[in-house]
């Protein structure tokens, strides 16, 4: 009897598992808010040089083009009173002496009353700090991925899923709230980095804690529910940001709920499977008996003892004791080929996704509406992905979604700026394809790696995804030099990785191998058949 069968004996998908399936996804709703928060807290309002005189026109401000709109970065050195006369003809305005905005900027506060841009004047020479702040947050996610993986795999009797989840809820609540009270941009970046670290711990350990105590037949449903909770979180963000126009209050509202999560998380039970592997079977028996009691299977729980648990989990315990490192991902030819291709797929999916999702203002339409549309496209995209993955295959789905995403992004380079609707449609198609790509690659990665190296492989994949999300805002800075260059890079990356995905073996209806050697042999034969 395996551990999965033990779960069925103590109630299967009973009340205990249902409560977990409700409480653990709740924090995921707000994870989307923190990930995409800078679309609103760092929104760039219309602005121009501040002047001290109270008149309808601003003679100190340089004017550009025929629309005579205030220039964002410079002003006239001397007062140009002739500009106040609508009948006067003024020529060669570009020859008049100008200077940088020495007295600050005036901002349009009709949509956002305050953002980090307006509060710390992240415009003109400082405008690239906006993208830097998002990259720092993503770097926190990468650091959190690494530390959470190390802590969850730490020697027995130190850490477990439950302890890390509780800590990350508290860290998210404290650092998120502290961000709302940041006295400076530097402090803001530090707190956002720490918030990113907590994000990783919640995402990784929350899913593990839920899945490891859920029967095999319902794990797919639980995993899908987590994905859709994140999607719904994008709707929540749009609604909350529409109501709250101050960045500090918005930051506070999406952070305070984690204090509630921290309080109820003390009820959580540690993963019984982890306890056995960590050498604490007595505690695992108590947790399983607690589970049986809540599921009204007291008799089944009373039959459990340490010897029964050990005999039923010999395979899992032996597997956990085997030593496997990152080197196993590149040691053999076929596994090395898989690892390289998956690195491309994970990196480009995340890179292009955040290149689109963090640039909502560029579409020139209502930012709240476009956030809703970007969130809504995930529902049909993930549903179609599930169908194609199950009936056509993983490799086809992965390749198609990535190439379509890249082509949609590249197509926007050739769309005139006045055709905003077409630009949005192409961007939404691209974002939907990338969401489907994520949906596919998570399953694909878990099937391509053998159990003993699966966690290491997923760790490498998450690292590549984090690197993509870190670089995406930095690439956005290149538009200062060549406006369409970021789109070329965002579009080319998924196309290249889509081509790389064609070199992966198909896993649809293929039994999972038991050892690395069996994986190598089977995949060599599979690749040979595909190349014939």
Does the pLDDT value for residue 455 go beyond 80? no
User: What's the mean pLDDT when you consider all of the chain?
Assistant: 78
Residue from 449, 224, 477 nearest 339 by CA: 449
Q: How confident is the model at residue 430 (pLDDT cuts 50, 70, 90)?
A: very high
What end-to-end distance do the CA atoms of the chain give, in Å? 41
Does the pLDDT value for residue 396 go beyond 80? yes
pLDDT at 514: 52
Per-residue pLDDT averaged across 66-85, rounded? Answer: 56
Question: How many degrees, rounded to 5, is the angle at CA 130 between CA 233 and CA 416?
Answer: 80
- Can you tell me the distance from the alpha carbon of 305 to that of 310, in angstroms, rounded to the nearest whole number? 9
Tokens of 147: 């530390």
Does the pLDDT value for residue 175 go beyond 90? yes
Picking from 32-46, 171-185, 316-330, 464-478, which range would have the lowest pLDDT averaged per residue? 316-330
For 281-297, the pLDDT digits (tens) are 777 777 777 877 777 77
Structural domain boundaries of the chain? Answer: 1-41+115-321, 47-107, 324-532
pLDDT at 4: 64
Residue from 493, 482, 361, 351 nearest 424 by CA: 361
Per-residue pLDDT averaged across 242-261, rounded? Answer: 93
pLDDT at 318: 58
For 315-340, the pLDDT digits (tens) are 555 555 555 566 777 777 878 888 89
Tokens of 155: 């020697």
- Can you tell me the distance from the alpha carbon of 318 to that of 131, in angstroms, rounded to the nearest whole number? 47
| Residue 86 phi, psi (nearest 5) | -65, -20
- Can you tell me the distance from the alpha carbon of 30 to that of 32, in angstroms, rounded to the nearest whole number? 5
| Residue found by looking up tokens 């952070």 in the block | 255
Beta carbons of 454 and 446 less than 8 angstroms apart: yes
- Can you tell me the distance from the alpha carbon of 148 to that of 164, in angstroms, rounded to the nearest whole number? 8
> What is the DSSP-derived secondary structure letter of residue 447?
H
Beta carbons of 15 and 215 less than 8 angstroms apart: no
Does the pLDDT value for residue 61 go beyond 50? no
Per-residue pLDDT averaged across 15-32, rounded? Answer: 83
Query: DSSP letter string over 47-75?
Result: EEE--SS-SSS-TTEEEETTTTEEEEEEE
- 324-532: CATH superfamily: MFS general substrate transporter like domains (1.20.1250.20)
For 294-334, what is the HEC assignment? Answer: HCCCHHHHHCCCHHHHHHHCHHHHHHHHCCCCHHHHCCCHH
What class, spelled out in words, does domain 1-41+115-321 have in CATH? mainly alpha
Picking from 53-57, 195-199, 252-256, 411-415, which range would have the lowest pLDDT averaged per residue? 53-57
β-strand pairing of 98-100 with 105-107: unpaired
Within this chain, domains 1-41+115-321 and 324-532 share the same CATH topology: yes
- Can you tell me the distance from the alpha carbon of 207 to that of 203, in angstroms, rounded to the nearest whole number? 6
pLDDT at 99: 64
- 453 vs 113, higher pLDDT: 113
For 461-516, the pLDDT digits (tens) are 888 888 998 998 889 888 878 888 999 999 999 999 999 999 888 877 665 555 56
Picking from 263-272, 320-329, 401-410, which range would have the lowest pLDDT averaged per residue? 320-329
Q: How confident is the model at residue 359 (pLDDT cuts 50, 70, 90)?
A: confident
For 106-147, the pLDDT digits (tens) are 777 888 888 888 888 888 777 788 889 989 999 998 888 777
- Can you tell me the distance from the alpha carbon of 48 to that of 33, in angstroms, rounded to the nearest whole number? 30
- What percent of the chain has a predicted confidence (pLDDT) above 70? 72
């Amino acid at each position: 009897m395996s551990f999965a069968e033990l779960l069925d004996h103590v109630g299967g998908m009973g009340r205990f598992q249902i409560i977990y399936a409700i409480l653990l996804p709740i924090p995921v709703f707000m994870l989307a808010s923190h990930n995409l928060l800078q679309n609103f807290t760092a929104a760039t309002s219309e602005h121009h040089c501040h002047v001290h005189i109270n008149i309808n026109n601003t003679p100190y401000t340089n004017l550009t083009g025929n629309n005579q709109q205030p220039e964002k970065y410079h002003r006239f050195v001397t007062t140009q009173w002739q500009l106040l006369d609508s009948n006067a003809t003024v020529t060669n305005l570009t020859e008049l002496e100008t200077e940088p905005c020495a007295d600050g900027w005036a901002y349009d506060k009709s949509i956002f009353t305050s953002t980090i841009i307006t509060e710390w004047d992240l415009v003109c020479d400082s405008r690239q700090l906006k993208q830097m702040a998002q990259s720092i947050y993503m770097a926190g996610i990468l650091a959190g991925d690494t530390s959470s993986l190390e802590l969850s795999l730490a020697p027995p009797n130190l850490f477990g899923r439950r302890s890390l989840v509780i800590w990350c809820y508290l860290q998210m609540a404290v650092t998120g709230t502290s961000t709302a009270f940041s006295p400076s941009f530097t402090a803001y970046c530090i707190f956002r980095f720490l918030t990113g670290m907590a994000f990783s711990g919640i995402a990784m350990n929350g899913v593990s804690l839920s899945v490891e105590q859920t029967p095999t037949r319902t794990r797919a449903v639980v995993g899908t529910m987590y994905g859709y909770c994140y999607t719904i979180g994008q709707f929540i963000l749009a609604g909350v940001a529409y109501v709250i126009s101050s960045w500090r209050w918005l930051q506070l509202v999406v952070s305070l709920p984690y204090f509630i999560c921290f309080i109820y998380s003390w009820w959580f039970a540690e993963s019984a499977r982890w306890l056995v592997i960590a050498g604490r079977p007595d505690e695992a028996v108590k947790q399983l008996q607690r589970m049986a009691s809540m599921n009204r299977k007291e008799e089944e729980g009373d039959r459990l003892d340490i010897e029964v648990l050990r005999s039923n989990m010999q395979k899992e315990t032996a597997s956990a004791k085997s030593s496997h490192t990152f080197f196993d991902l590149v040691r053999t030819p076929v596994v090395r080929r898989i690892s390289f291709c998956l690195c491309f797929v994970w990196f480009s999916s995340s890179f292009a996704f955040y290149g689109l999702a963090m640039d909502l203002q560029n579409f020139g339409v209502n930012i709240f509406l476009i956030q809703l549309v970007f969130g809504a496209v995930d529902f049909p995209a993930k549903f179609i992905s599930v169908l194609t993955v199950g009936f056509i295959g993983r490799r086809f789905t992965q390749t198609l979604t990535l190439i379509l995403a890249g082509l949609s992004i590249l197509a926007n380079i050739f769309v005139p700026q006045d055709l905003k609707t077409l630009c949005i449609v192409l961007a939404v198609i691209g974002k939907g394809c990338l969401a489907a790509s994520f949906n596919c690659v998570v399953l694909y990665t878990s099937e391509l790696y053998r159990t003993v190296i699966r966690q290491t492989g997923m760790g490498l994949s998450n690292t590549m995804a984090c690197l993509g999300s870190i670089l995406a805002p930095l690439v956005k800075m290149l538009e200062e030099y060549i406006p369409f260059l970021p789109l070329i890079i965002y579009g080319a990356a998924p196309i290249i990785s889509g081509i790389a995905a064609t070199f992966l073996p198909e896993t649809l209806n293929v039994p999972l191998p038991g050892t690395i050697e069996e994986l190598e042999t089977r995949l060599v034969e599979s690749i040979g058949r595909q190349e014939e």
